[in-house]
Structure formats: structure tokens, C-alpha cells
Amino acid sequence: MMGSELDAAGVRDRALREAYRSCRAINAQHGKTFFLATRLLSPAQRPAVHALYGFARSADDILDGFDSRSAVQRADELHDMASALSDRLVDGKPSDGNPILDAVVDTAQTYDLDWQLFDDFLGAMRMDLTVTDYPDRAALDRYMHGSAEVIGLQLLPVLGTVGPREEAAPYAAALGKAFQLTNFLRDIDEDLTRGRVYLPADELAAHGVDREVLTRCQQRRVTEPRVRAALIEQLALTRKIYRDAERGVALLHPRSRPCVNVALTLYSEILDCIEETDFAVFVRRATVSTTRRLQVATAGLTRAWRVRARRQEV
């Protein structure tokens, strides 16, 4: 299957094909909902999406792996990754044999992705080495530009648009932000274990919530009423961003709309799952059921095939 995707994408070099296969395996293992959505893209689009996911996941693993590496060691690894990518994309140096970088560099060159998007992303990753709290929404938004919005902007040339790309860009960025805010709500427990809180401190404080309160909830595996009230507010704000982002789907190339609709639907339904468990985020990780994922994906696949059949695409 991957071979036909690589053929469709025009990837002929044997080593590069293996590099893309490595990224696809990372996506399949770690991004199940996202990977499922990529099956609705045309085969020619999929390798680039896998490469971008593989790169982002590799950077994330440097920061968040539960192992004995110190902050200094993680900073050094992230610096090495950034330097290697800059050498390739900015200075045109040859491959150093890293398959993830080989694939993402090829994708960046194929779709003319701006180095600034990667630099902004890596800058946000560096923030995670030292920043553990965000005082207000503006501070969190600055972090999310690099960690989430640029992902949507990187994907936009791969997805394609029906008009000027800059018209669709704000919606692509908003969808990346909505996905990440969903992660922040779902993963409060895990993030606290890593010493981080990705919710605006002033908005939590309006409900009498701070890190100490969240830590107590984590230790007791309960969600206190004031924490629930704060999370209800955060969830409502995230849903609004999904609604704003959804208006941009019509600006995408028709062959990409089913994929984005499926990803938007399934990720936004994680918020429903959080509500259904009465915000028991310190007890279980909210997930959309396999049955529901398959139901949404099947409907999306039908739409994708119809679009591609009309356009005689494989």
C-alpha cells in the first residue's frame, strides 16, 4: 500500500522511500485518529502528511519521553535536530542519514514550505524545556502558534486550496489550535506529571483554581467542583475555535475536505467524551470509541472516493 502512495507522490529514490515508510509507521503507531483521517486523502498526498507528523512526533519525543534524560540532554538533542534541519533546508547540505529528516526535507522542498514555520515550531518546543505555566491566554497563544498553528499552515499546501492560500491560512491555523487545546483538556493529568499546566492561569484563578488545586485533584483522582467549572469554560472556548475553523473547510481542495472533516469531527468529539465522563480527567483519558471512529471514517471514505472518482483521481 505504501509503495503505491510513494509511486503516486513521485518518490523514486530507494532510501527516500524507506524514510517515508519510517514516518508512516510513526503516524500509524502514535497518531491513530490522525492516521485514520489520512486514509481519506489521495495516495499522492499521504507521504507528505506522514513526513510532517513524523518530524513533529520526533521532536515531541525528545521533550516528553519518560526516561532518565536531563533537561540539558533534551535541549542538546533538540538543538542538534534544529541544526540538522537548518543545514538541509537553509544551507542545502547533504543528508546526514536521519530518515525522518530526509522525508520532511523532501516534503518541504516539494511543497515549498517556509523555513520559518519549522523554526517557529522548534522555538515552541524549546519553550517546553523551561516554561511550565502560562499566566494568560496571550502567553498560551504565543506558545500555540509554534506548537500547533504552524502544523496547520505546513499541511495547507499539501491539502491544497480552491483560492488564494492566504485566505485559508487563518482557518488552518485555528484548526491546529483547536486540536491542541483538546489535547490540553484531555491530558491534564499527564501534563501535570510532567510538571506542566497548559491552561491560562488567570482564567483558572477566576474559578479559584491554581496548580496546587489541580495537583490535589490528581493525587485524589477527583475533579473538584471549581475545577469542573473551569474546565467547562475552557471546553466551551475550544468548541468555539472548532466552529470558526470549520468555516475554512470549504476553502480547501475538494479532495482534501473529507479528510479534514473526519479529523475535525473525531477530535472535537473528544470534548464530548470529556463531558460524558463528568470531567473525570484525573481518572481516565478521554477517547472516541473504535466503533465511532470507524463509522465517521467510513462515511468520509465514501465521500472521498466520490470526489476522486469525479475527478478521475486514484
pLDDT of residue 1: 54
Instruction: Identify whether the C-beta of residue 31 lies closer than 8 Å to the C-beta of residue 292.
Output: no
Question: 1-130, superfamily in CATH?
Answer: Farnesyl Diphosphate Synthase (1.10.600.10)
Q: Does domain 159-313 have CATH number 3.40.50.720?
A: no
pLDDT at 26 over 90: yes
* Mean pLDDT, rounded, of the chain: 93
**CA atoms of 102 and 93, how far apart (whole Å):** 12
| Residue-range domain boundaries for the chain | 1-130, 159-313
- 3-state secondary structure at position 63: helix
- 3-state secondary structure at position 161: strand
Ranges 10-19, 100-109, 188-197, 290-299: which has the least confidence: 290-299
Q: What single letter denotes the amino acid at residue 96?
A: D
pLDDT of residue 308: 63
Q: Is 132 left (phi over 0), alpha (psi -120 to 50) or beta?
A: alpha
**CA atoms of 119 and 84, how far apart (whole Å):** 12
Domains 1-130 and 159-313 share a fold: yes
- 3-state secondary structure at position 191: helix
- 3-state secondary structure at position 9: coil
Q: Which triple of cell numbers denotes residue 21? A: 515508510
- 3-state secondary structure at position 308: helix
pLDDT bracket for residue 32 (50, 70, 90) = confident
Ranges 16-20, 209-213, 257-261, 294-298: which has the least confidence: 294-298
Give residue-wise pLDDT tens across range 159-180: 999 999 999 999 999 999 999 9
Give residue-wise pLDDT tens across range 150-161: 999 999 999 999
pLDDT of residue 314: 45
Give residue-wise pLDDT tens across range 194-244: 999 999 999 999 999 999 999 999 999 999 999 999 999 999 999 999 999
Most confident of the following: 74-78, 94-98, 102-106: 102-106
**CA atoms of 209 and 233, how far apart (whole Å):** 13
pTM of the model: 0.91
